[in-house]
Amino acid sequence: MAKDAVKESAADALGYLRTIGRKPMSVQLGIGGGAGVVTGYIFGKSSRVVAGTIGCSLILFQFCNYRGYIHINRNEFEKDIRDMRKSLEEQFGVNKSALPNGKDVDKFLTSNKYLLGGFVAGCLLGYAFS
């Protein structure tokens, strides 16, 4: 019973999100701005931790490489990369492009311009609040 309620709620939320482009401008700006504020705030708070973690990891990796603790077999590495690429091409197909064409991008940007504008403005505000 609870699973059905969750599925219905998720379906309703996704249906609403799919039709945001047809909502009034104020609704689009509000939804985009709210999501942007939350995203900007989270990014502002977590970016220092992520930058510190990546920096310390790079320094540790360089130290281990300098001391000779890390040894990479280049031939095996290249073979594994070739095998992985081959399996991904077989699985997803070679002719399929992951990038949309220019017409699709233009259509998306023009149909969601208020939502995206609100998101950018909210993201900047959220980053400033953090």
Question: Per residue of the chain (130 residues), what is the pLDDT tens digit?
Answer: 677 888 888 888 888 878 887 888 888 899 899 999 999 999 998 988 899 999 999 999 999 988 989 888 889 999 999 999 888 888 877 666 667 788 888 888 888 899 999 999 999 999 998 8
Q: Which residues of 60-89 are buried (b: 16+ CB within 10 A; e: fewer)?
A: eeeeeeeeeeeeeeeeeeeeeeeeeeeeee
Q: At what angle do helices 25-67 and 113-129 cross, to 10 degrees?
A: 60
Looking at the structure, tell me whether residues 37 and 53 fall in a common domain: no
Looking at the structure, tell me whether residues 81 and 114 fall in a common domain: no
Residue 114 is part of which domain span? 100-129
SS3 content of the chain, % helix, strand, coil (to 5): 85, 0, 15
Looking at the structure, tell me whether residues 107 and 90 fall in a common domain: no
Total tally of structural domains belonging to the chain: 3
Looking at the structure, tell me whether residues 40 and 61 fall in a common domain: no
Query: Do residues 20 and 113 touch, judged by C-beta distance below 8 A?
Result: no
What predicted TM-score, i.e. pTM, was given to this entire model?
Answer: 0.62
